[in-house]
Chains A and B, each alone.
Chain A
Amino acid sequence: MPTRIQQRWNELRASGGKALIPFVMAGDPDMRRCLEVVLALADAGADIIELGVPFSEPVADGEVIQRAGGRAIANGSFLPAILDLVKQVRKQSQVPLLLMSYLNPILRYGFEKFAADAVAAGADGALITDLSVEEAGPYINVIRGDANGRNAEAAKPRHNFDTVFLASPTSTAARLRRIVEYSTGFVYAVSRTGITGTQASLSTAIVPLLAKLRALTETPIAAGFGISRPEHLAALAPHADGVVVGSALVKCLEDHLDNPAPHVAEMARWLREGFKETGVRS
């Protein structure tokens, strides 16, 4: 059975559309307002929403996401509460949800319990920032039940849960092959070397990386890191199946902590305009 993430890509492919994938930190600024933000984003046309799991040592994140993680941790936003948030979303929306986490909170929770509880709550997959493909065998094994940690048996996974991996401009051809082999749902192409955060113009490294990935896989490819404006979406639309916007939206949330949902949703709509400029469905 396809996950909600896979179903959404199928719909987008049928209509020729591209995916807007907003990131928000779960529990930022608190669970109630985060739920409002997620639902508002779904209404604003978010195709998949990434829900961040905060970690005390976010080595791959810039200051905006670090601060969001700090607010979430202060509110006790850890996996049990985050999976409860997912359940709350599911009462009102079928928007695909991808959990984005560092490894240690999931390791501590336990892979098997994490996969079972996340699927039961209504989450559709996870991206674990510091879990390299070399170290992913035990995790993939839990999700797909293949002793080699490869997705040859993905047709009958143990958990209906996507495993998204990062690809980077520094990834070698051999690494990219392994990354696409392990990724289900989509492959997340990091637009540049560096940490999360906004920048004025797009990196020149992203289009060649998207082309390399496209040659390797039919799995959808989303670009992320440093994407903050409609023109970035317009520039990427011909090369990627979707784009992830994180820090720009989180910064918008941070600027409107009292009632962030309408502001974040408005920004998402503004970002989507970028897809229209290239003539794809928005």
Chain B
Amino acid sequence: MIETKSQPGEQGRFGAYGGRYAPETLMHPLEELEQAYFAARSDPAFQAEFDYLLKNYVGRPSPLYYAKRLSESLGGASSGSMPGTKIYLKREDLLHTGAHKINNCVGQALLARRMGKRRIIAETGAGQHGVATATVCALFGFTCRVYMGEEDMARQRLNVFRMKLLGAEVIPVTAGQRTLKEAISEAMRDWVTNVEDTYYLLGSALGSHPYPLMVRDFQSVIGKEAREQILAAEGRLPDQLIACVGGGSNAIGLFHAFRDDANVKMIGVEAGGRGTGLGEHAARFSGGTPGVLQGTFTYLLQDNNGQIVNTHSVSAGLDYAAVGPEHAMLHDSGRAEYTSCNDSDALDACQRLMLLEGILPALESSHAIAEVIKRAPKARNEIIIVNLSGRGDKDIEILQRELKL
């Protein structure tokens, strides 16, 4: 069931952020997409098919797993009489295709079919959205083209091969720093050229309205389930939610159901990369300023001339110069707090979760694990939910290189 606790304002404004900054050729297609999405969202048949596929194809609900050994290692709940901080993992990594990205892809594929579009294009960074898109295209019989930066194709080549196995065409993007930003630009160029028959399946809560809203809505199942699951397990709401933030779809998906629960803290973790200088990280809230990139007004990493600067992260999925506009609003209002974790802390956290829980997190999700490792020792008898947004099989080669085992 799509959960909607709040709506953006006119033109998809989340506070001052969001909007619809697109070349004129895309403006009416965006209006049509918005109308089609609102009609679908209020159609019980659409909702029922979405729910059916999430349950029977994607494998929802995903477990909310109490990570006992991780909690204990951080001075949390032990077997004794002393209750302590308990860390729960929302196991989006267990879903079909291995990450939360599939939730959004199922929703948008249903919408594309409803709109009569049979050619799907997408961008991908780490390749998880590309794999999820290729998967739903196979399921629905759509043709699929995925744009991916050459740098990302090299570091996530297992996912490139998975997309090809699924029948997708993967187009290398060679512009700029050859990562997610350039892949989005190239997908937008394809869309503006083939707008009549093509559906652009954007993978994060980014871009022009209605994408940030629509992606949030399709991902909101994460928080809706987690809220029910923690109430069933603990009889109370959590104290903290922690999720990594690239574009921010897994984080907004977890946060949304809790936004009116004022005592539940929301923490988004950006990529701290290898340093604090511009170009060394992807921490938009600490190093960025508001501006317009790829259709939306939000925090950007940019220079004094309004040019977008390069970013760095060990995780391809967080390596992007802008952040979803709803996160920009939550940041300014103080409802959510944003922090960052660097490459080496993320790698340590990844290894720690493997050794303590036998779970291999994606390097993106490892940023959220790193944050809970910092926070849990300072917390007192708290319940913390971490969104384990994806599994790390795709990162094996990077881990092999970085961890030198």
Give residues in A with beta carbon < 8 Å to B.
55-62, 66, 73, 78-79, 102-109, 129-132, 134-135, 165-172, 175, 179, 190, 193-195
The complex places the Cα of A137 from the Cα of B175 at a distance, in Å, of 33
Most buried by A among B25, B29, B175, B181: B25
* B306 lies within 8 A of A132 (CB): no
Could you list 6 examples of A-B contacts with CB < 8 Å?
A62-B189, A107-B291, A134-B11, A135-B20, A135-B21, A171-B27
* CB-CB nearest in chain A for B307: A56
The 10 closest A-B CB pairs, nearest first, are: A108-B306, A105-B306, A78-B305, A194-B193, A166-B24, A168-B25, A168-B24, A104-B306, A60-B23, A59-B188
* B20 lies within 8 A of A134 (CB): yes
The complex places the Cα of A253 from the Cα of B232 at a distance, in Å, of 68
* A130 lies within 8 A of B21 (CB): yes
In the assembled complex, how far is the CB of residue A194 from the closest CB belonging to chain B, in whole angstroms? Answer: 4
Q: Is B176 an interface residue (CB 8 A)?
A: yes
* CB-CB nearest in chain B for A129: B23
Task: Please choose the segment from B73-81, B114-122, B236-244, B292-300 that sits at the chain A interface, where 4 or more of its residues have CB less than 8 A away.
Answer: B292-300
Given the interface contacts A55-B307, A59-B188, A104-B302, does A194 sit within 8 Å of B291 by beta carbon?
no
* B24 lies within 8 A of A172 (CB): no
Query: B295 to chain A: which residues have CB within 8 Å?
Result: 130
In the assembled complex, how far is the CB of residue A173 from the closest CB belonging to chain B, in whole angstroms? Answer: 11
* A195 lies within 8 A of B192 (CB): yes
Q: Mark B163-183, 1 if CB is under 8 A from A, else 0.
A: 000000000000110000100
In the assembled complex, how far is the CB of residue B138 from the closest CB belonging to chain A, in whole angstroms? Answer: 28
The complex places the Cα of A109 from the Cα of B306 at a distance, in Å, of 8
* A132 lies within 8 A of B21 (CB): yes
Contact partner, A132, options B22, B176, B193, Cβ 8 Å: B22
In the assembled complex, how far is the CB of residue A32 from the closest CB belonging to chain B, in whole angstroms? Answer: 20
Number of interface residues of B (CB under 8 A): 36
The complex places the Cα of A58 from the Cα of B308 at a distance, in Å, of 11
Given the interface contacts A132-B20, A132-B27, A167-B24, does A108 sit within 8 Å of B188 by beta carbon?
no
Most buried by B among A130, A131, A171, A195: A130
* CB-CB nearest in chain B for A63: B175
* CB-CB nearest in chain B for A194: B193
In the assembled complex, how far is the CB of residue A261 from the closest CB belonging to chain B, in whole angstroms? Answer: 26
* B11 lies within 8 A of A130 (CB): no
Query: A107 to chain B: which residues have CB within 8 Å?
Result: 291-292, 306
In the assembled complex, how far is the CB of residue B24 from the closest CB belonging to chain A, in whole angstroms? Answer: 4
Query: B28 to chain A: which residues have CB within 8 Å?
Result: 168, 170-172, 175
* A170 lies within 8 A of B305 (CB): no
The complex places the Cα of A103 from the Cα of B307 at a distance, in Å, of 11
The complex places the Cα of A167 from the Cα of B24 at a distance, in Å, of 6
Query: B42 to chain A: which residues have CB within 8 Å?
Result: none
* A193 lies within 8 A of B27 (CB): no
Q: Is B56 an interface residue (CB 8 A)?
A: no
Q: Is B234 an interface residue (CB 8 A)?
A: no
Q: Is B336 an interface residue (CB 8 A)?
A: no
* B25 lies within 8 A of A190 (CB): yes
Q: Is B304 an interface residue (CB 8 A)?
A: yes
* A56 lies within 8 A of B308 (CB): yes
Contact partner, A170, options B11, B195, B302, B304, Cβ 8 Å: B195
